[in-house]
């Protein structure tokens, strides 16, 4: 481990870089500080993120803002029922000039991939994406292609419209380090959104013009660099995790496996994700070590999509969130 | 004289005509005195002496059945149209299957033979005797219903109750150790330097629980409670010291663990009554 003085100095730079990202994104997106923090955690730990929320909560804008702010390559795929795996990973195409096959790389070859409404695609497409997420490489024809680094998938799903969707099974949900549930903005934040939107004006385009949107503002953002991001990712690995913290993690994970209302508890991957995400959160909050607050703050996003209620608990009207809160309360009671 | 001769002549002619008619009828009846088994045949205009004849009562064993189709007076006798059906091959006397209506004797009556022919070859075997099945039980319906109902009820109760885990009357659980009961020994153990990582983690959770109870945050979500405790002037300072001791890569120099935990040794089971002054003197 680096000496404490060096570590502190590096963290100061990284803190500055992370604060800049938060500030820049905050200029475009209002009232989503927690979501920005979660995206940064995902970015710093290369853990994929699933955002669940109704349409219109600026999910796409948020991800686009992050990618522009850090100068990352960004692709967006709108998942639909007729999407094919080759539409994501790419395919071999016959070049009629040379009569040879050439590789056409799909939109997955990017740094930041927004998979919009992932639950609308057929399971084989979801599976293709999730395999790429896990292995960070794709196979086209007979060749393997590594995905760019950093590579992060931020998927969204709408919890309301379930008709014509394919719910992600627990095994595939487990691939997402975090599942964050977006909520509506506070009234004061929503007023700020309206106020900013009212000032956007129009953008001239040749002889015509179109009304400016928040996406137009993104182009004017000052950009950070990938090198700074890589440095921040390295700094996350320097964040100290004590034995006591490991004990807390295992205690919570084990309680999910023993709770009578839960049919499926957390996998070991959940514990790993808790530690990884906690380290990134500690760095974002300016600490070089994790504390139980990180654990409790991230428990819902890390654990909730990895547990499944028993039939009896569902029949009694319990929810996964209630059970998790019960577990967390018991841990500190 | 002439008239008398004519009358005699007419009578003679009438007798001849009647006799001829009887012969014709006799000849025509002969053609119906044979029939195959089960087929109906008729004997028309048969003159039988004596009082009126009617069919004898038939049974299931009767080999031949006779019906009287019509009866006319014929001088002192009666003339009949008969229909008969034979059920077994053989030659039978129809008079054996008739009786006098007035019950008088049938003796001295000329036989009227009919021939029942078989269409089957001589070596054809007889069909098997029908076996009489016992009559269906008609009584005992109510009993059957009651027995069936009892079985159905027993089956239903078995499905409902057999194999069910009955809730046993819970024995009075031993009283849970209070927070103070759990906290004090853990504080002692950690302060003495004999605690492992699991026990230190347990102590940290108990300290959070202690402050949750003290700041009345029991009904608040765990995350919100921790944030409140960390932002609390008194509790936050103490909790951060514990965090720095337990989680920092290198705990602060000259860190007085015993001093930090000393106030918690005074926690009582009843009130978690620790004075602010005592807690403030941890470091």
> B interface mutation test: which of A4, A5, A242 has the most B CBs within 10 A?
A242
pLDDT value at B3 more than 70: no
Enumerate chain A positions whose Cβ falls within 8 A of a Cβ in B. Answer: 1, 4, 240, 242-248, 251, 288-293, 296-297, 299-300, 325, 328-329, 331-333
pLDDT value at A78 more than 70: yes
Closest C-alpha among A216, A310, A225 to residue A264? A310
pLDDT value at B25 more than 90: no
Same domain, A215 and A261: no
Pick B226's closest partner by Cβ from A240, A288, A296.
A296
C-alpha distance from B225 to closest chain A C-alpha (Å): 9
What pLDDT does B145 receive?
A: 94
Lowest-confidence pick of A215-219, A321-325, B155-159: A215-219
What are A115's strand-pairing partners?
Answer: A77, A155
**Residues of chain A found within 8 Å of residue B186, distances taken between Cβ atoms:** none
What pLDDT does A11 receive?
A: 81
Residues sharing a CB contact under 8 Å with residue A4, sequence separation 6 or more, in sequence order: A288, B249, B250
What pLDDT does A3 receive?
A: 42
Cβ–Cβ below 8 Å for B249 and A240 = yes
Task: Quote helix, strand, coil % in chain A, to nearest 5.
Answer: 50, 20, 30
Instruction: Provide φ and ψ at A294, rounded to 5°.
Output: -60, -45
Does A185 reside within a domain? yes
pLDDT band at B179 (very low <50, low <70, confident <90, very high): confident
**Residues of chain B found within 8 Å of residue A328, distances taken between Cβ atoms:** 221-223
What pLDDT does B255 receive?
A: 64
Q: Which residue of B has its CA nearest to A288?
A: B248
C-alpha distance from B183 to closest chain A C-alpha (Å): 11
Average per-residue pLDDT for chain A = 86
C-alpha distance from A329 to closest chain B C-alpha (Å): 5
C-alpha distance from A288 to closest chain B C-alpha (Å): 8
Same domain, A136 and A32: yes
Same domain, A218 and A266: no
B95-154 pLDDT, tens digit each: 999 999 988 888 888 889 999 998 887 777 777 888 888 777 777 888 999 999 999 999
Residue pair A123/A171 in contact (Cβ under 8 Å)? The answer is no
Helix (H) or strand (E) holding B117: strand B113-117
Does A233 reside within a domain? no
User: What Rg, from alpha-carbon coordinates, does chain B have?
Assistant: 62
**B66 touching A (Cβ < 8 Å):** no
Same domain, A253 and A150: no
pLDDT value at A2 more than 50: no
What pLDDT does B275 receive?
A: 45
ipTM score over 0.90, yes or no: no
Cβ–Cβ below 8 Å for A331 and B222 = yes
Cβ–Cβ below 8 Å for A245 and B200 = no
- Beta-carbon-side half-sphere exposure of residue B39 (alpha carbons within 13 Å): 14
Same domain, A136 and A265: no
C-alpha distance from B159 to closest chain A C-alpha (Å): 20
- Strands (E) located in A82-235: 90-95, 100-105, 112-116, 137-140, 143-146, 152-157, 178-181, 202-205, 208-211
pLDDT band at A298 (very low <50, low <70, confident <90, very high): very high
pLDDT value at A331 more than 60: yes
Closest C-alpha among A77, A274, A59 to residue A183? A59
**Residues of chain B found within 8 Å of residue A11, distances taken between Cβ atoms:** none
Pick B208's closest partner by Cβ from A4, A289, A332.
A332
DSSP B37-90: TT-EEEEEEEEE-SS-EEEPPP-TT-SEEEEEEEEEEETTEEEEEEEEEESSSE
What pLDDT does B281 receive?
A: 38
Does A123 reside within a domain? yes
Same domain, A186 and A306: no
**Residues of chain A found within 8 Å of residue B202, distances taken between Cβ atoms:** 247
- CATH code of residue A308: 1.10.8.80
Rounded Cα distance, A197 and A216, in Å: 11
Residue length, chain A? Answer: 333
Same domain, A57 and A151: yes
B37-54 pLDDT, tens digit each: 999 999 999 998 888 999
Residue pair B184/B210 in contact (Cβ under 8 Å)? The answer is no
For the CA atoms of A8, A14, A20, A23, the dihedral, rounded to the nearest 10 degrees, stands at -70
Same domain, A97 and A163: yes
Work out the burial of residue A260: count CB atoms within 10 Å of its CB; fewer than 13 is exposed, 13-18 middle, 19 or more buried.
exposed
**Residues of chain B found within 8 Å of residue A248, distances taken between Cβ atoms:** 201, 204-205
Write the DSSP symbol of residue A67: H
Rounded Cα distance, B35 and B181, in Å: 118
Lowest-confidence pick of A160-174, B81-95, B206-220: A160-174
What pLDDT does A69 receive?
A: 85
User: What Rg, from alpha-carbon coordinates, does chain A have?
Assistant: 21
**Residues of chain B found within 8 Å of residue A293, distances taken between Cβ atoms:** 223, 226-227, 230
Q: Which residue of A has its CA nearest to B178?
A: A333
Q: Which residue of B has its CA nearest to A294?
A: B223
C-alpha distance from B210 to closest chain A C-alpha (Å): 8
Lowest-confidence pick of A75-89, A137-151, A161-175, B66-80: A161-175
Rounded Cα distance, A213 and A200, in Å: 7
pLDDT value at A171 more than 60: yes
Closest C-alpha among A168, A332, A313, A170 to residue A255? A332
Same domain, A182 and A87: yes
What pLDDT does B79 receive?
A: 93
Cβ–Cβ below 8 Å for A329 and B221 = yes
What pLDDT does B125 receive?
A: 75
B238-263 pLDDT, tens digit each: 888 888 888 888 766 666 666 667 66
Pick A4's closest partner by Cβ from B223, B246, B250.
B250
What pLDDT does A73 receive?
A: 87
> A interface mutation test: which of B220, B247, B250, B272 has the most A CBs within 10 A?
B247
pLDDT band at B282 (very low <50, low <70, confident <90, very high): very low
Residue pair A217/A27 in contact (Cβ under 8 Å)? The answer is yes
A46-66 pLDDT, tens digit each: 899 999 888 888 888 888 888
What pLDDT does B196 receive?
A: 82
Give whole-number Cα distances, A7 to A101, A226, A238, B255, in Å. 50, 20, 8, 22
pLDDT value at A151 more than 80: yes
What pLDDT does A301 receive?
A: 92
Antiparallel, parallel or unpaired: β A202-205 and A74-78: unpaired
Taking each helix axis as running N to C, give the angle between helix A292-303 and helix B197-214, from 0 to 180 degrees, rounded to the nearest 10.
Answer: 90
Average pLDDT over residues A127-134: 84
**B225 touching A (Cβ < 8 Å):** yes
**Residues of chain B found within 8 Å of residue A325, distances taken between Cβ atoms:** 221-222
Rounded Cα distance, A106 and A141, in Å: 13
Pick B212's closest partner by Cβ from A4, A325, A332.
A332
Same domain, A173 and A282: no
Residue pair B179/B207 in contact (Cβ under 8 Å)? The answer is no
pLDDT value at A175 more than 80: yes
* 3-class SS of residue A319: coil
Write the DSSP symbol of residue B96: G
Q: How many domains does one find in chain A?
A: 2
Does A231 reside within a domain? no
> A interface mutation test: which of B213, B249, B250, B257 has the most A CBs within 10 A?
B249
Antiparallel, parallel or unpaired: β B77-86 and B40-48: antiparallel
Rounded Cα distance, B228 and B117, in Å: 119
* 3-class SS of residue A155: strand
**B222 touching A (Cβ < 8 Å):** yes
Same domain, A261 and A184: no
Domains and CATH numbers, chain B: 17-117 (2.60.40), 179-280 (no CATH)
Same domain, A138 and A265: no
pLDDT value at A279 more than 90: yes
* 3-class SS of residue A220: coil
Cβ–Cβ below 8 Å for B223 and A332 = no
**B248 touching A (Cβ < 8 Å):** yes
B261-270 pLDDT, tens digit each: 766 766 665 5
Pick B226's closest partner by Cβ from A247, A251, A292.
A292
Does A229 reside within a domain? no
Rounded Cα distance, A279 and A7, in Å: 14
- CATH code of residue A108: 3.40.50.300
- Domain extent at residue A278: 239-333
Lowest-confidence pick of A129-143, A233-247, B122-136: B122-136
pLDDT value at A205 more than 90: no
């Amino acid at each position: 481990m680096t000496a404490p003085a060096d570590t502190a100095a590096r963290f100061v730079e990284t803190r500055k870089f992370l604060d800049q990202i938060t500030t820049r994104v905050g200029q475009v997106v209002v009232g989503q500080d927690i979501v920005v923090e979660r995206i940064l955690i995902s970015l710093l730990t290369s853990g994929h993120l699933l955002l669940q929320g109704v349409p219109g909560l600026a999910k796409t804008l948020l991800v686009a803002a992050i990618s522009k702010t850090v100068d990352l390559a960004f692709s967006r795929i709108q998942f639909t029922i007729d999407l094919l795996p080759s539409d994501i990973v790419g395919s071999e195409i016959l070049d009629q000039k040379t009569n040879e096959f050439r590789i056409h790389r799909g939109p997955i070859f990017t740094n930041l991939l927004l998979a919009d409404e992932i639950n609308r695609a057929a399971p084989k497409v979801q599976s293709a994406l999730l395999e790429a997420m896990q292995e960070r490489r794709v196979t086209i024809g007979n060749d393997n292609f590594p995905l760019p680094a950093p590579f992060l998938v931020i998927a969204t799903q709408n919890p309301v419209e379930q008709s014509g969707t394919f719910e992600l099974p627990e095994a595939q949900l487990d691939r997402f380090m975090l599942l964050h549930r977006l909520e509506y903005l506070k009234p004061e934040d929503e007023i700020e959104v309206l106020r900013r939107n009212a000032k956007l004006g129009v953008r001239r385009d040749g002889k015509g013009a179109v009304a400016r949107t928040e996406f137009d503002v993104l182009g004017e953002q000052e950009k950070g660099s990938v090198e700074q991001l890589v440095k921040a990712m390295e700094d996350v690995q320097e964040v100290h995790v004590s034995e006591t913290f490991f004990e807390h993690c295992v205690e919570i994970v084990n309680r999910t496996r023993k709770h009578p209302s839960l049919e499926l508890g957390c996998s070991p991957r959940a514990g790993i994700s808790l530690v990884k995400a906690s380290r990134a959160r500690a760095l974002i909050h300016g600490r070089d070590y994790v504390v139980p607050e990180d654990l409790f703050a991230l428990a819902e996003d890390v654990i909730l999509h990895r547990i499944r209620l028993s039939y009896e608990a569902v029949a009694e009207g319990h929810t996964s969130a209630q059970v998790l809160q019960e577990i967390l309360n018991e841990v500190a009671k | 004289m002439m008239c008398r001769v004519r009358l005699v002549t007419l009578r003679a002619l009438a007798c001849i005509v009647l006799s001829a008619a009887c012969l014709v009828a006799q000849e025509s009846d002969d053609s119906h005195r044979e029939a195959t088994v089960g087929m109906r045949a008729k004997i028309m205009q048969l003159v039988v002496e004596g009082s009126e004849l009617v069919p004898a009562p038939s049974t299931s064993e009767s080999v031949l059945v006779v019906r009287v189709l019509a009866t006319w007076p014929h001088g002192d006798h009666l003339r009949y149209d008969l229909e008969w059906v034979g059920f077994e091959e053989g030659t039978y006397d129809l008079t054996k299957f008739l009786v006098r209506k007035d019950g008088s004797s049938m003796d001295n009556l000329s036989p009227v033979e009919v021939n029942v022919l078989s269409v089957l070859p001589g070596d054809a075997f007889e069909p098997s005797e029908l076996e009489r099945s016992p009559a269906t039980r008609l009584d005992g319906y109510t009993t059957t219903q009651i027995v069936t109902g009892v079985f159905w009820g027993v089956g239903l109760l078995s499905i409902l109750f057999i194999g069910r885990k009955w809730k046993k009357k819970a024995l009075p659980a031993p009283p849970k150790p209070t927070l103070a009961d759990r906290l004090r020994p853990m504080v002692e153990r950690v302060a003495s330097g004999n605690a492992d990582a699991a026990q230190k983690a347990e102590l940290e959770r108990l300290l959070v629980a202690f402050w949750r109870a003290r700041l009345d945050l029991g009904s608040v979500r765990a995350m919100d409670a921790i944030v409140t405790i960390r932002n609390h002037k008194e509790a936050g300072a103490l909790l951060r010291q514990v965090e720095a001791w337990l989680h920092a890569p290198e705990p602060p120099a000259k860190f007085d663990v015993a001093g930090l935990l000393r106030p918690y040794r005074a926690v009582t089971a009843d009130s978690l009554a620790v004075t602010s002054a005592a807690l403030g003197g941890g470091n």
